Amino acid sequence: MIYSMTGYGKADTTFNGKKIHVEIKSLNSKALDLNTRIAPLYREKEIAIRKMIAAELERGKIDVSIWCEKGGEQSGGIINTEIAASYVRQICEISKHIEELEQPSPTEIWNLLVRLPEITQPSTIEELDEEEWAVVEEGVRQAIQQVMLFRRQEGEALERKFQKNISTIETLMRSIEPFEQSRVEKIKIRLEERLTELTGIDYDKNRLEQELIYYIEKLDINEEKQRLTNHLAYFRETMENGRGQGKKLGFIAQEMGREINTTGSKSNQAEMQNIVVKMKDELEQIKEQVLNVM
Structural domains of the chain sorted by starting position, each given as residue range(s) with its CATH number in brackets: 7-73+135-150 (3.30.230.10), 78-121 (no CATH), 153-290 (no CATH)
- Contact, 79 vs 119, CB < 8 A? yes
Q: What do you get for the CA distance between the two ends of the chain, in Å?
A: 11
Which pLDDT score, from 0 to 100, does residue 66 have?
94
Angle at 121 between CA 131 and CA 39, to 5 degrees: 40
Which pLDDT score, from 0 to 100, does residue 259 have?
95
Q: Classify each residue of 222-244 as buried b or exposed e, where b means 16 or more C-beta atoms within 10 Å of its C-beta.
A: eebbebbeebbeebeebbeeebe
Q: Cβ neighbours of residue 246 under 8 Å, at least 6 residues apart? A: 2, 5, 59, 290, 291, 292, 293, 294
Which pLDDT score, from 0 to 100, does residue 124 have?
56
> Sorting pLDDT into bands at 50, 70 and 90, what band is 286?
very high
DSSP calls for 270-293 = HHHHHHHHHHHHHHHHHHHHHTTB
**Tens-digit pLDDT profile for residues 37-92:** 999 889 999 999 999 999 999 999 999 999 988 765 545 567 777 777 887 888 77
- Contact, 66 vs 38, CB < 8 A? yes
Q: Cβ neighbours of residue 187 under 8 Å, at least 6 residues apart? A: 212, 215, 216
Who wins on pLDDT, 98 or 129? 129
> Sorting pLDDT into bands at 50, 70 and 90, what band is 206?
confident
Q: What is the rounded CA–CA span in Å between residue 234 and residue 181? A: 28
Average pLDDT over residues 121-135: 77
Which pLDDT score, from 0 to 100, does residue 203 have?
64
